[in-house]
């Protein structure tokens, strides 16, 4: 579905939403001569417009010794362009009351911005200036790298946040792009050249997609985006990483990050999950809803509702281009660490051995079909993000439009097959942040050996 | 209609028909007020219950009980057993949450349109007939304690702001944290819970807000059916204690295992309904919204002394605090950062804000205001918040005009009133390594 085609490729048909039916609102999709993909969706109502831009690559495109390069490059776009210095850019953005946010995910760098509809043209010009004409002044690069380095360290002051990079680094390992996480160590390897080169290589028409959603005239918006971005070079298309199969380790592995005096232990129990295009994805997400995806899930019911061990327990299924983690995530007071892990494993075992019943599966379907419209299609920012996700993963509108039918088609037999296949009880990877002195003995029984690191040691256990 | 005209003058060409004038209201015989705003964009409904029950209504010994109640409201009522509220909701495609502040407890339900009847029935049952089971109270106590560990003990800003607020407010019930002191969490009794529930959870102490894919007449009909029979009764009185005027700067230092320090300055300010509030909001925007704001630009971009600068307040019925939070960079002395902050505050008091900067802040405020109204959930929350804290939900649509009227002289006046040394409490979190301490022992 990608290609250099100047004409409109798809205009979805407007069908009003009804219960158990999910439809993307109508939008246009076109590919400009330079390869840039543009999607425009008009949503009447609040006078705001979302302008989002995705650059292919994201985390998987970071050089092995510079995890975080995609994100840092995104952050630096506004710090000096051919026509504005950093201060001028901020003043112009703020004068419009605009927002500007950068986030690199597994497969893209996402720039999310929002303006009042009346300021669409001015906002677009500003965003185009950043994306196409960033100059990366040396002084700004140095400043931002130093800030990012401090931010990476500050993450450790919030263990609920810090556990994620530790878990990624330990679970995937340094040889996998998802195992290389941004830290003060990787930031020290970045410089103006690596950033400017990354920008030159990746920020070209064939790697860019733009979604404009909001209270705007669609035809005008298309014309304005074309004008603003037609100068972008076509460039070379980014070559996606080949699939990497995650193998289950024969024995459990365990990382203990020592945070002295922590009164609560944060932990992940991870195993290989799925990739975004897995044919099991709908069934896995329904099983996950029941296992750890909603308040009355099996995990939350046991660890919070029945036992009061935690404020919340959940299970997270990554859905990215490459196969990702499937991980239980929760926290509990230091003294009950061992008990909470054992209980989590018991819930996992129950799912794996006893499977689900038909009424549970029906409940998961009803839940997902109830919450999805408002979590996916209600606001312009949700819609823009969704359009770009579909684009980055090469999905067509049917990924959304047939979702409920595909959910309905998941049988109890299929659900139980994926429950056994993806929710295994052996070869697990454990990651803990807590007071090692007090929890070492409690967690020792879950793996043959413990790798222990000090939270104040630089980085997150990887590069 | 008046509002639509005003805003049309500010932003020619923008239609606001959808968000203005479309709220319908009704009040039941027992005093419960209902606000409804239809929006058929997606097949979803937001149903919010704002109870005027907050930590402001507590006393020493039962601090945190309002928040504990927020949890207990999901643990069983007469016709829906423990956990049934969540189970019923999720099996019908809905989910929920709740939050507690110093002034209110808000229950937030989101669900498909055909679940409206069930939701009203369950909400009415827990308003009138909550059931307390000793075993569940104990397990929920563990959950709340875990939440305190998450938000305070293991969160540096949570830990610091709890200390700063307690230092700034010494007499009024805003002194204690919403989550409650640890010893109170351990000590609430069944009797405390039952008494508190009977007092606070009355229909006349509640506002119901419905936004989304509903028919207004149907909402009013169901509200009558399920809520009107619940008797009204007297609830908490207003707190008697008026916070005495602060007579000099208060400083709190806490030491914690941390990578980076934190600095917080909190200034007494008037309540949300004060006529000065629009000017205060613009002042806050000028100080710290966006990278061109005064504090961000000076501390983060130019002096490179901080990672971030935030200025905020929260809606409050009584006078509370305007807070400034700064994350200093590694290796920068906190006292230096504090000097920089104070010098920026002195500047804004000394000379009027230039017109372009005022215009910029008003645009930022307006855009942010609109962002809050994008979803059913956002509109429900804003309508309830304005009804309670501004005294009238219509202020939600009138406030842009109030903000537009703010002048440079207004900004200077409120800055001079609020941002003074004797009016502030300063909190500093000093990183400390337990390892070093242990090695020393």
Percent pLDDT > 90 in chain B is: 83
Residue that the structure tokens 């972008």 belong to: A232
To the nearest whole Å, the CA of B317 is away from the closest chain A CA by 29
Tens of pLDDT, residue by residue over A170-213, are: 999 999 999 999 999 999 999 999 999 999 999 999 999 999 99
- pLDDT at residue B402 greater than cutoff 90: yes
- pLDDT at residue B17 greater than cutoff 90: no
Task: Give the model's pLDDT for residue A6.
Answer: 32
Chain-chain contact of B44 with A378 (C-beta, under 8 angstroms): yes
To the nearest whole Å, the CA of A95 is away from the closest chain B CA by 4
Q: Write down the domain spans for chain A.
A: 27-229, 253-454
**B20 vs A46, more confident:** A46
To the nearest whole Å, the CA of B382 is away from the closest chain A CA by 14
Chain-chain contact of B367 with A93 (C-beta, under 8 angstroms): no
- pLDDT at residue B14 greater than cutoff 80: no
Q: Does A64 touch chain B (CB under 8 A)?
A: no
Residue of chain B whose Cα is closest to the Cα of A153: B259
- pLDDT at residue A2 greater than cutoff 90: no
Domains A27-229 and A253-454 belong to one CATH topology: yes
Percent pLDDT > 90 in chain A is: 92
**A249 vs A178, more confident:** A178
Average pLDDT value for residue range A417-444:
97
Residue pair A11/A28 in contact (Cβ under 8 Å)? The answer is yes
Residue of chain B whose Cα is closest to the Cα of A435: B434
**Helix B65-72, helix B190-200: angle, nearest 10:** 80
Confidence of residue B147 (pLDDT cuts 50, 70, 90): confident
Chains A, B: CB contacts within 8 A come to 213
Confidence of residue B434 (pLDDT cuts 50, 70, 90): low
Residue of chain A whose Cα is closest to the Cα of B155: A158
To the nearest whole Å, the CA of B260 is away from the closest chain A CA by 6
Show the tokens assigned to B422.
Answer: 């004797």
Indicate the residue of A97, A310, A367 with minimum beta-carbon distance to B90.
A367
- pLDDT at residue A13 greater than cutoff 70: no
Q: Does A360 touch chain B (CB under 8 A)?
A: no
**Helix B65-72, helix B134-148: angle, nearest 10:** 120
Which residues of A are less than 8 Å from B156 in CB distance? Answer: 157-158
Residue pair B213/B43 in contact (Cβ under 8 Å)? The answer is yes
Average pLDDT value for residue range B237-255:
96
Task: Give the model's pLDDT for residue A9.
Answer: 34
Chain-chain contact of B143 with A310 (C-beta, under 8 angstroms): yes
Indicate the residue of B13, B149, B292 with minimum beta-carbon distance to A263.
B149
Domains and CATH numbers, chain B: 18-227 (3.30.830.10), 250-440 (3.30.830.10)
Q: Does A227 touch chain B (CB under 8 A)?
A: no
- pLDDT at residue A215 greater than cutoff 80: yes
**Superfamily (CATH H level) for A27-229:** Metalloenzyme, LuxS/M16 peptidase-like (3.30.830.10)
Chain-chain contact of A90 with B291 (C-beta, under 8 angstroms): yes
- Asked whether this complex has an ipTM greater than 0.85, the answer is yes
Task: Give the model's pLDDT for residue A462.
Answer: 67
Chain-chain contact of B42 with A373 (C-beta, under 8 angstroms): yes
Which residues of A are less than 8 Å from B113 in CB distance? Answer: 19
Lowest mean pLDDT segment, chosen from A414-428, B152-166, B201-215, B338-352: B152-166
pTM tops 0.90:
yes
Which of B292, B431, B386 is closest to A157 using CA atoms?
B431
Cβ-proximal residues to B382 (8 Å cutoff; 6+ apart), any chain: B372, B373, B396
Residue of chain A whose Cα is closest to the Cα of B136: A306
Confidence of residue B19 (pLDDT cuts 50, 70, 90): low
Q: Does A114 touch chain B (CB under 8 A)?
A: yes
Task: Give the model's pLDDT for residue A351.
Answer: 98
Tens of pLDDT, residue by residue over B184-197, are: 999 989 899 999 99
Main-chain dihedrals φ then ψ at residue B402, nearest 5 degrees: -65, -40
Task: Give the model's pLDDT for residue B435.
Answer: 59
Show the tokens assigned to B377.
Answer: 């959930």
Show the tokens assigned to B155.
Answer: 């969160």
Q: Does A95 touch chain B (CB under 8 A)?
A: yes
Chain-chain contact of B366 with A147 (C-beta, under 8 angstroms): no
- For domain A253-454, the question of CATH label 3.30.830.10 is answered with yes
Q: How far apart are CA B280 and CA B415, in angstroms?
A: 8
Residue pair B186/B62 in contact (Cβ under 8 Å)? The answer is no
Tens of pLDDT, residue by residue over A301-353, are: 999 988 989 999 999 999 999 999 999 999 999 999 999 999 999 999 999 99
Which residues of A are less than 8 Å from B297 in CB distance? Answer: 87, 90
Q: What stretch of H or E contains A270?
A: strand A264-272
């Amino acid at each position: 579905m990608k290609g250099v085609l100047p004409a409109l490729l798809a205009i979805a048909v407007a069908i009003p939403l009804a219960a158990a039916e999910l439809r993307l609102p109508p939008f246009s999709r076109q590919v400009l001569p330079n390869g840039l993909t543009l999607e425009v969706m008009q949503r009447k109502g609040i006078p705001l417009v979302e302008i989002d831009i995705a650059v292919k690559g994201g985390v998987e495109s970071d050089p092995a010794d510079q995890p975080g390069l995609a994100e840092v490059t995104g952050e630096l776009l506004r710090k000096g362009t051919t026509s504005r210095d950093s201060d001028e850019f901020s003043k112009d953005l703020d004068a419009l009351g605009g927002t500007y946010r950068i986030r690199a995910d597994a497969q893209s760098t996402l720039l999310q911005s929002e303006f009042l509809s009346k300021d669409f043209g001015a906002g677009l010009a500003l965003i185009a200036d950043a994306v196409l004409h960033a100059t990366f002044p040396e002084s700004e690069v140095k400043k931002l790298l130093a800030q990012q380095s401090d931010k990476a360290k500050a993450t450790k002051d919030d263990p609920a946040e810090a556990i994620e990079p530790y878990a990624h680094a330990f679970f995937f390992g340094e040889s996998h792009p998802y195992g290389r996480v941004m830290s003060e160590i990787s930031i020290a390897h970045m410089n103006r050249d690596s950033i400017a080169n990354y920008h030159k290589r990746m920020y070209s028409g064939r790697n860019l997609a733009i979604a404009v959603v909001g209270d705007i005239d669609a035809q005008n918006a298309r014309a304005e985006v074309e004008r603003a971005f037609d100068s972008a070079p076509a460039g070379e298309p980014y070559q996606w990483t080949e699939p990497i199969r995650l193998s289950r380790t024969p024995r459990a592995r365990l990382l203990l990050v020592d945070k002295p005096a922590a009164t609560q232990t944060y932990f992940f129990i991870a195993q290989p999950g799925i990739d975004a295009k897995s044919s099991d994805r709908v069934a896995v997400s329904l099983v996950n809803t029941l296992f750890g995806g909603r308040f009355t899930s099996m995990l939350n019911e046991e660890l919070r509702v029945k036992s009061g061990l935690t404020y919340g327990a959940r299970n997270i299924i990554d859905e990215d281009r490459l196969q990702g983690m499937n991980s239980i995530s929760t926290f509990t007071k230091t003294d009950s660490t061992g008990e909470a892990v054992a209980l989590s494993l018991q819930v996992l075992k129950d799912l794996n051995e006893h499977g689900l019943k038909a009424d549970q599966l029906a409940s998961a379907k009803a839940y997902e079909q109830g919450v999805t419209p408002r979590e996916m299609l209600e606001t312009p920012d949700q819609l823009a993000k969704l359009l770009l996700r579909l684009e980055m993963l090469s999905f067509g509108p049917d990924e959304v439009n047939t979702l409920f039918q595909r959910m309905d088609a998941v049988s109890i037999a299929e659900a139980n097959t994926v429950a056994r296949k993806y929710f295994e009880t052996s070869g697990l990877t454990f990651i803990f942040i807590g007071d090692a002195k007090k929890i070492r003995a409690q967690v020792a029984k879950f793996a043959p050996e413990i790798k222990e690191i000090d939270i104040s040691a630089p980085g997150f256990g990887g590069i | 209609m008046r509002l639509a005209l005003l805003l049309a003058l500010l932003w020619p060409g923008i239609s606001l028909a959808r968000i203005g004038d479309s709220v319908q209201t009704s009040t039941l015989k027992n005093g419960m007020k209902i606000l409804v705003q239809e929006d058929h964009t997606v097949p979803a409904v937001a149903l919010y219950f704002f109870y005027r029950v907050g930590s402001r209504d507590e006393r020493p010994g039962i601090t945190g009980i309002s928040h504990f109640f927020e949890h207990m409201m999901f643990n069983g009522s007469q016709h829906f057993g423990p956990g049934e509220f969540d189970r019923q909701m999720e099996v019908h495609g809905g989910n929920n949450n709740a939050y507690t502040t110093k002034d209110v407890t808000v229950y937030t339900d989101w669900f498909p349109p055909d679940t409206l009847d069930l939701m009203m029935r369950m909400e009415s049952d827990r308003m009138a007939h909550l059931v307390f089971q000793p075993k569940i109270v104990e397990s929920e106590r563990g959950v709340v304690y875990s939440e305190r560990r998450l938000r305070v003990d293991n969160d540096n800003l949570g830990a610091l702001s709890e200390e700063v607020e307690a230092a700034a407010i010494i007499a009024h019930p805003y002194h204690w944290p919403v989550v409650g002191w640890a010893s109170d969490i351990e000590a609430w009794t069944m009797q405390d819970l039952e008494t508190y529930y009977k007092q606070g959870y009355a229909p006349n102490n509640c506002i119901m807000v419905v936004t989304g894919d509903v028919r207004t007449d149907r909402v009013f009909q169901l509200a009558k059916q399920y809520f009107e029979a619940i008797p009204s009764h007297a609830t908490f009185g207003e707190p008697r204690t008026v916070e005495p005027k602060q007579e000099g700067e208060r400083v709190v230092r806490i030491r914690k295992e941390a990578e980076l320090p934190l600095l917080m300055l909190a200034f007494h300010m008037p309540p949300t309904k004060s006529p000065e509030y629009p000017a205060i909001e613009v002042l806050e925007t000028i100080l710290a919204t966006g990278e061109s704001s005064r504090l961000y630009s000076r501390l983060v971009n130019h002096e490179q002394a901080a990672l971030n600068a935030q200025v905020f307040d929260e809606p409050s019925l009584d006078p509370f605090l305007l807070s400034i939070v700064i994350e200093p960079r590694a290796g920068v002395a906190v006292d230096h950062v504090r000097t920089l902050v104070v010098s920026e505050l002195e500047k804004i008091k000394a000379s009027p804000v230039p017109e372009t900067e005022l215009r910029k802040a008003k645009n930022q405020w307006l855009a942010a205001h609109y962002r809050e109204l994008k979803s059913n959930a956002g509109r429900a929350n804003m309508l309830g918040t304005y009804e309670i804290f501004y005294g009238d939900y219509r202020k939600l649509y009138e406030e842009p005009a109030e903000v537009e009227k703010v002048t440079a002289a207004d900004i200077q006046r409120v800055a001079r009133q609020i941002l003074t040394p004797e009016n502030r409490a300063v909190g500093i979190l000093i990183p400390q390594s337990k390892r070093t301490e242990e090695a020393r022992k």
